[in-house]
Amino acid sequence: METSTERNIAAFTHLSTFSQYIIPFGNYIFPIILWTSKKEQSEFVDHNGKQALNFQLSILIYTLVLAMIAIPIFLYTVLKNISFNDLVNSNDVIFENFDYGNSIGILTVGVLALFVLASIKIAEFFLVIYASIKASNGEEYDYPFTIPFLK
């Protein structure tokens, strides 16, 4: 049976990932601080800390992969339609025959990557809240689609 202190620390470990919206890399720094402070004394805090960090690292990997798909697609689509011939003589960027029709397939892949990325970030928000509620109730929660970096 977990004490209320252990449950609170585990819940705050999950909720501390929201610090990413205020402090860069706060979603890694604060869970690590909370997890390492009590992981030796509590198996419950240890499990929840590992789950929170594994989930955040998995989200990072998924975000990087989707960004590596979407960014080059959009850069390619825009840059192939810019005329660089007159750019040397003037300061204006000229889009000649900007046509999405020839790139609709590749643009669809880029838009889908952005949609999946947005869906992942929305799901992250609700899953973190759900995990913190489970932890505050004394239940162990395993995030879905999480790569187990820390075992």
Q: Using one digit for the tens of pLDDT, what is the confidence trace for 48-69?
A: 999 999 999 999 999 999 999 8
Pairwise CA distance, residues 113 & 76, whole Å: 15
* Mean pLDDT score, 29-48: 94
What's the pLDDT at 60?
A: 95
- The helix (run of H) or strand (run of E) holding residue 1 is none
Contact partners, residue 9, CB within 8 Å, separation at least 6: 34, 37, 38, 42, 45
Q: What is the pLDDT of residues 74-127, one digit of tens each?
A: 888 777 766 666 555 556 655 555 666 667 778 888 889 999 999 999 999 999
Contact 46, 31 (CB under 8 A): no
pLDDT at 83: 62
Better-scored residue on pLDDT, 151 or 120 = 120
